[in-house]
């Protein structure tokens, strides 16, 4: 396992993150405590130090398990949790981005994790009723109080993250250093706006859903695609290409799917999140670190499931419009990240 700097910070995180939404059985699926511990141990043995949870995962079981597992070496671990999603559906203030819910959620997370601080707190999803400036200032207060070291934003529009970090810079508040979103060979919508925004603000992306709930793992992909009504020519082509590349590397399609995400050009930097329900699945996923895709294989996978970026990117990046803007200069520009 190698390590990456997380966003515009000096925080070092492992190049793969451990996702723990599967820790606990309160939702009727997931891994019991002992299997969760085995998954955690395998990740730690591989050199992982970055673990991701949330206040609502498996009704709090996930945070409880994570707190128990990291306790012996708490300072070694980069523990990330999230706030926003409701924990009491009949209480109007038990969910959202606002200050009251932030304080309530964070205090509950700290109790379950058995710690007095979290390394990274994610705003889990955008709440359209809370002003962005309230959320950013409330997060900054928790950093100043020492209960949070870094902050990030998850599953939200690009303009919200951009507005938040611009406000933070202007007002001396704590900026977001990370962006969490779904990303896989089959789900590349984030390349439209979120990736360019992350690159511009120096945010590290943590990507969830890299195996599309098993569709890209090689485990009965056709049946899973049919169950989800996604048996499109594009989806089937992606699965077929993954299987062909996996056969060439004598490994599982899951490893290739994760390796493809790791191969994406930076910026932005991407840290895939591994979320498994068994120790064996974790061992297989960690094997992605050993898969080095050739440029030809990357091109094959890129092309078989290429996204339609839409307006304005398709428009602004077309040869015709670049000619209108730059004349003959574009091809002669030396651009650096």
Residues assigned a catalytic role: 57
d(CA 124, CA 138): 14
d(CA 323, CA 319): 6
Q: What are phi and psi of 91, to 5 degrees?
A: -105, 115
Q: Does residue 270 contact residue 228 with C-beta atoms inside 8 Å?
A: no
d(CA 19, CA 66): 10
Both structure tokens of 143: 């950093």
In this structure, the number of other CB atoms found within 10 A of the CB of residue 251 comes to 18
Contacts of 132 (CB under 8 A, 6+ apart): 160, 163, 164, 167
Place of tokens 């299987």: 243
SS3 state at 20: coil
């Amino acid at each position: 396992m190698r390590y990456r700097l997380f966003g515009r910070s000096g925080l070092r995180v492992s190049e793969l993150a451990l996702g723990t939404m599967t820790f606990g059985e309160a939702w009727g699926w997931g891994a019991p405590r002992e299997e969760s511990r085995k998954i955690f141990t395998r990740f730690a043995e591989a050199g992982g130090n970055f673990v991701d949870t949330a206040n609502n995962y498996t009704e709090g079981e996930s945070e409880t398990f994570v707190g128990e597992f990291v306790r012996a070496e708490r300072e070694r671990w980069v523990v990330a949790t999230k706030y926003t999603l409701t924990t009491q559906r009949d209480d109007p203030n038990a969910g959202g981005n606002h200050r009251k819910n932030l304080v309530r959620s964070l205090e509950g997370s700290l109790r379950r994790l058995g710690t007095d601080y979290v390394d990274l707190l994610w705003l889990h999803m955008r709440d359209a009723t809370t002003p962005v400036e309230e959320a950013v200032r409330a997060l900054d207060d928790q950093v100043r109080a020492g209960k949070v070291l870094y902050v990030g934003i998850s599953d939200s529009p690009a303009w919200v993250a951009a507005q938040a970090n611009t406000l933070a810079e202007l007002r001396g508040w704590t900026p977001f250093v990370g962006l969490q979103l779904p990303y896989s060979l089959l789900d590349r919508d984030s390349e439209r706006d979120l990736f360019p925004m992350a690159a511009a603000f120096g945010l590290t992306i943590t990507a969830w859903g890299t195996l599309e709930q098993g569709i890209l793992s090689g485990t009965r992909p056709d049946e899973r695609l049919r169950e989800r009504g996604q048996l499109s020519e594009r989806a089937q082509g992606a699965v077929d290409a993954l299987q062909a590349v996996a056969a060439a590397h004598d490994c599982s399609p899951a490893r290739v799917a994760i390796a493809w995400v790791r191969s994406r050009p930076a910026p932005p930097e991407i840290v895939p999140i591994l979320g498994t329900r068994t120790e064996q699945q974790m061992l297989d996923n960690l094997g992605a670190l050993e898969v080095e895709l050739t440029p030809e294989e990357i091109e094959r996978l890129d092309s078989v499931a290429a996204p339609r970026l839409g307006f304005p990117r398709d428009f602004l990046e077309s040869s015709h419009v670049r000619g209108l803007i730059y004349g003959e200069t574009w091809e002669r520009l030396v651009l650096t990240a």
